[in-house]
Structure 1
Amino acid sequence: MSPTKQWSPGSMYHITARGNRRYSIFRTNTDRLKYLRILEDAREKYPFILHSYCLMTNHIYLLLETKEHPPGKIIHHIHYRYARYFNKKNGFSGHLFEGRYKSVLIRNSKQMMDTSCYIHLNPVKAGITSKPEEYRWSSYKAFVTNQSNKHVHTDRILAHTNNGSKSHYKFYVEMKHHQFNS
């Protein structure tokens, strides 16, 4: 999102960011846990709602709803702190992320549902796993099992399924997976 774009509280965005030169931004599980801790710190400072996420080896996907602060302020805080941590830990300097993050404004419920599916299917499309529920570093399990995830709020997305049905969301994701592979 460019600084000239309009922002209003309550807007939802599909946020993506990739490692500089497509290098890994997460080398260990500890790195991913650190990113999620920094994300939680950012949520305290700049309140927002995280609806879905997936942390891949060299990129991140977030479905984020703003409250009082534009997404740029939130993501800058998270990525600045994470890059400092990562560079110090690995003896690096310079940019960790490739350019500015990318954002797409979510304009309706269908786009929100499709974006959440897209985020959750990334480990499958990357060939890391054949089932999204097997990937530890996404919010998918919170949508389809009774396993909670303190980082995400599933209620808004599940509200668009049949009576908040987790099995209906799973079916929706599976149908999207088959559409991508057709």
Structure 2
Amino acid sequence: MAGRKIILATDEYYHVFNRGIARQPIFFTKRDYERFLLTTSYYRFVNPPLKLSRLLQLSQELRNEYFKNLLTSNKLVDITSFVLMPNHFHFILRQNHDRGISIFMSQLTNSYTRYINTKQERMGDLMQGVFKAVHIETDEQMLHLSRYIHLNPVTAHLITLEKLSAYRWSSFLDYLQEKSTLLEPHIVLSQFKSPKEYEQFVHDQAGYQHELKKIEHLLFE
């Protein structure tokens, strides 16, 4: 397995990506997306006090209370934005601890792979090797990358631009509602007067195409 080409530094932001082996699907049902998001929320914390297997047995109300109580706890990573697609996913992550991103990604993908392997009675890897990561150097890069990530479902023709906020498996709606306990989107949203203005920025297709060149080196596809 190839080693990582860049050093992941603490207090820095990265575009993190992985996909299914041979570009095969990694999400098959609504429940799979939900499980991945729950596992994402769980493993961002350092030493969660409750085992994941126990958390899965709780009602949605108790799960929400559990995560709410952990908000001030130590986190391996902060999640700025994300999108889950049928055969891949994107994160913008801030590393809070030494090796935080690597630990988080290892725990997340290993746990989710075990879930899929058990469910489908399969063996072996689900993801395409070591996750990819690129350092985000400026707020402007962060801004345009968040738009790129949120537009993934439109680019893939999974949903129309007008209905983008209805796509459940990204952080876009969380940006508009500002209610998420999973995200730390302030570094992006602070560059706008309101969530509505950010929505208009994402919907600006002409501007998106113009600025895409500036972040080509941050992309993987």
Whether the aligned pair in 1 keeps the contact of 2:117 and 2:123 (CA below 8 Å) is yes
- CA 56–113 in structure 1, closer or farther in 2 if over 3 Å, else same: same
Q: How does 1:6-85 map to 2 (within 5 A)?
A: 6-45=7-46, 47-70=76-99, 71-85=101-115
**Structure 1: segments with no counterpart, 5+ residues:** none
Report the CA distance between 1:116 and its aligned residue: 0.6
2:187 counterpart of 1:156: yes
CA–CA distance in structure 2, aligned partners of residues 168 and 13 of structure 1: 24
Alignment of 1:178 with 2:178, yes or no, is: no
CA pair 180-169 structure 1, distance change in 2 beyond 3 A: closer
Counterpart of 1:173 in structure 2: which amino acid?
Answer: V
Q: Secondary structure at the match of 1:69?
A: coil
Unaligned runs of 5+ residues in structure 2 are 47-74, 211-221
Corresponding residue for residue 116 of structure 1: 146
In structure 2, how many angstroms separate the alpha carbons of the residues matched to 1:170 and 1:4? 34
Shift of 1:19: 0.5
SS in 2 for 1:178: helix
Q: Do the aligned partners of residues 101 and 107 (structure 1) sit closer, same or farther apart at CA in structure 2, a change above 3 Å counting? A: same
**2:213 matched residue in structure 1:** none
Measured after TM superposition, the shift of residue 179 of structure 1 is 4.0
* C-alpha contact (below 8 Å) 2:11/2:96 kept by paired residues: yes
RMSD between aligned alpha carbons? Answer: 1.9
Distance verdict in 2 for CA 1:167–1:100, change over 3 Å = same
Matches of 2:190 and 2:207, distance apart in 1: 23
Question: How far, CA to CA, are the matches of 1:14 and 1:2 in structure 2?
Answer: 17
In our comparison, the structure showing a higher alpha carbon Rg is 2
The equivalent of 1:136 in structure 2 is 168
1:56–1:8 Cα change, 3 Å: same
Residue 52 (structure 2) aligns with = none
Return the TM-score normalized by structure 2: 0.75
Task: Measure how far apart 1:100 and its partner are.
Answer: 1.5
> SS state of the match for residue 175, structure 2?
helix
* Counterpart selection for 1:100 from 118, 130, 133: 130
What is the TM-score normalised by the length of structure 1? 0.90
Alpha-carbon distance, 1:2 to partner: 4.7
